[in-house]
Amino acid sequence: MQPENESSGQGRRSFIEQARRGQIVAATIETIAEIGYAKASFVQIARRAGISPGLITYHFAKREELMKQVMLTVHDSMEQALSSRAEGSESYRGALRGLIEGFVHYCAEHPAELVAISQIAAAARDAEAARAWSEEQNASTLTELEDMFREGQELGEFRDFAPRVMAVSVIAAMEATPAELWARPDTDVTQYAKELADLFELAVRRA
């Protein structure tokens, strides 16, 4: 009776379904940002979306499914935002700076999204499927970054450090940004981005 959830692709869904799903995801982000993951019940989300709670289950077979879609959506949006910024960089150093500064600016522009995914990720430590997926997502980002470091090292652009440790630290430092910006709303974002990029540039550069 329900639309075949998460089938092979996305092309399957009707337009109206796609729209509803988007609306629900948006309402979920808004809700989590406002009242926190723990209190973000379907009733609350539905109220913000202007729909009935039952409709959420109709479009997302399980709560997990919805949360997974939220993360997917935000990651997509973020990746898109970052890639446009990263295009121009010709060096690995530049790419790293682009990534970090891009991320920080994205945080400043989409605080709700970041709050949402960080809360979901933290809570999903148990929701089996979501966890698996979240880890996978994270792992791929991590691996990409690791590879980038490794290549930069091979080309002599970076010093000889453990790529994995560096990747983990860069991501951790970036992910700490939303909370910091939330706690200190009057932070100079551009300055913050520059400082963070400087930090890691010094940490990776040769000699």
Residues of this chain that bind DNA (CB under 7 A)? 1, 3, 14, 16-17, 20, 38-44, 51-59, 61-64
Residue number, 67 or 74, with CB nearest to DNA: 67
- Choosing among DNA, its own copies, none, which partner's interface includes residue 136 (Cβ < 5 to 8 Å by kind)? none
Q: How far is the CB of 22 from its own copies (least distance, A)?
A: 23
Q: Toward its own copies, which CB reaches closer, 151 or 175?
A: 175
Contacting residue, 87, 172, 185, 186, with its own copies by CB under 8 A:
172
Instruction: Give 35 or 80: the residue with its C-beta nearer to its own copies.
Output: 35
Does position 28 bind its own copies by CB under 8 A?
no
3-state SS string over the chain? CCCCCCCCCCCCCCHHHHHHHHHHHHHHHHHHHHHCHHHCCHHHHHHHHCCCHHHHHHHCCCHHHHHHHHHHHHHHHHHHHHHHHHCCCCCHHHHHHHHHHHHHHHHHHCHHHHHHHHHHHHHCCCCHHHHHHHHHHHHHHHHHHHHHHHHHHHCCCECCCCHHHHHHHHHHHHHCHHHHHHHCCCCCHHHHHHHHHHHHHHHHECC
Query: Is position 196 an interface residue for its own copies (rule: CB under 8 A)?
Result: yes
Does 175 interact with its own copies (rule: CB under 8 A)? yes
Please tell me whether residue 149 binds its own copies under the rule CB under 8 A: no
Residue 192 makes contact with its own copies by CB under 8 A: yes
Q: What are the two backbone dihedrals, phi and then psi, of residue 205, each rounded to the nearest 5 degrees?
A: -70, 155
* Minimum distance of its own copies from residue 95's CB (angstroms): 18
CA separation for the pair 20, 2 (Å, rounded)? 13
Residue 122 beta carbon to DNA: minimum distance, rounded to whole angstroms: 16
Rounded CA-CA distance 190/124 in Å is 32
Residues of the shown chain interacting with its own copies in the complex, contacts defined by CB under 8 A: 1, 35-39, 41, 43-44, 47, 118-119, 122-123, 125-127, 135, 161-162, 164-166, 168-169, 171-173, 175-177, 180, 183-184, 191-192, 195-196, 198-200, 202-203
